[in-house]
Amino acid sequence: MSVHKFNPENRKKLNSEQRKAILPPAQVLMDIGIESHTVWADIGCGTGYFTIPLAYEVKQVYALDIRAEMLNDLSDSLTQLQISNVEVLQSGESRFPLPDLLVDGILTSLVLHEVDQPNEFFRELHRILQTGGRLVVIEWAKASTEMGPPLDHRLSVQQLDDWALTAGFTKVKSWQWTENFIGIEYEK
Ligand SMILES: C[S@@+](CC[C@H](N)C(=O)[O-])C[C@H]1O[C@@H](n2cnc3c(N)ncnc32)[C@H](O)[C@@H]1O
């Protein structure tokens, strides 16, 4: 397993006010532009930073993560908030327990820099997405910023594009949120 995996003991930090200030989830989803009749997967969902706001916007969300601790916190929040359109599933490193062509959109936020087998991971993203579906990758910008992982753990846009294009995606557009985060949309 990669040495750079997020430590679940730090999972409360994922919902900090400091994080919401530099990566405001509602603004990010508005920028992405989500259609209400669609079905999404949040891969590497953590404790649901994007899963929960996404659930209010769309028909159905599949929330996947490799760590049970993250998924347990998310399930508790979903119960408390009485959200019923999210299915929470534990995934393998590059194996998503979902059928082919299931979803219209995929969000994967701050996951790829932790992934052990990026080419396999992108192949799985491609497999579960509808033809014409949207893949949105959010990552740390490859820059030295006050918060976040060291520069050599961050991924360049070129690297992300290479993996995505190798898996069969086409690049559509990109965003930047503060100096810290980039978003890239690909289409299948
Ligand atoms: C930094 S957290 C981000 C969580 C969430 N996406 C967010 O933005 O708050 C990274 C998450 O990716 C998960 N993860 C790492 N590798 C993964 C993989 N191969 N498949 C699915 N989840 C993975 C970790 O367990 C962790 O919950």
173 located within any domain: yes
What tens digit of pLDDT does each residue of 131-179 get?
999 999 999 999 998 888 899 999 999 999 999 999 999 999 999 999 9
Total domains present in the chain: 1
83 located within any domain: yes
What tens digit of pLDDT does each residue of 18-71 get?
899 999 999 999 999 999 999 999 999 999 999 999 999 999 999 999 999 999
What residues are paired with 188 via a beta bridge? none
Tell me the C-alpha distance between 69 and 159, whole Å.
Answer: 30
* Domain hosting residue 107, numbered range: 13-187
For a pocket test of ligand 1, which of 1, 2, 19, 66 has the largest count of ligand atoms closer than 8 A to its C-beta?
66
3 located within any domain: no
39 located within any domain: yes
78 located within any domain: yes
Tell me the C-alpha distance between 2 and 164, whole Å.
Answer: 20
Tell me the C-alpha distance between 135 and 153, whole Å.
Answer: 22
8 located within any domain: no
Which CATH number does the domain housing residue 115 bear?
3.40.50.150
Ligand 1: distance of its center to the CA of 44 in Å? 3
Structure tokens at 146: 């006050």
Q: Residues with beta carbon inside 6 Å of ligand 1?
A: 5-6, 14, 43-46, 49-50, 64-67, 70, 91, 93, 109-111, 114-115, 121
6 located within any domain: no
Ligand 1: distance of its center to the CA of 45 in Å? 6
Ligand 1: distance of its center to the CA of 173 in Å? 23
Q: What phi and psi, each to the nearest 5 degrees, are found at residue 89? A: -140, 140
Q: Over the range 42-79, which residues count as b (16 or more CB within 10 Å of their CB) and which as e? A: bbbbbbbbbbbbbbebbebbbbbbbbeebbebbbebbe
What tens digit of pLDDT does each residue of 113-132 get?
999 999 999 999 999 999 99
What tens digit of pLDDT does each residue of 66-107 get?
999 999 999 999 999 999 999 999 999 999 999 999 999 999
2 located within any domain: no
Q: What pLDDT sits at residue 4?
A: 80
Tell me the C-alpha distance between 181 and 167, whole Å.
Answer: 23
Which class for 21: exposed (0-12), middle (13-18), buried (19 or more C-beta within 10 A)? exposed
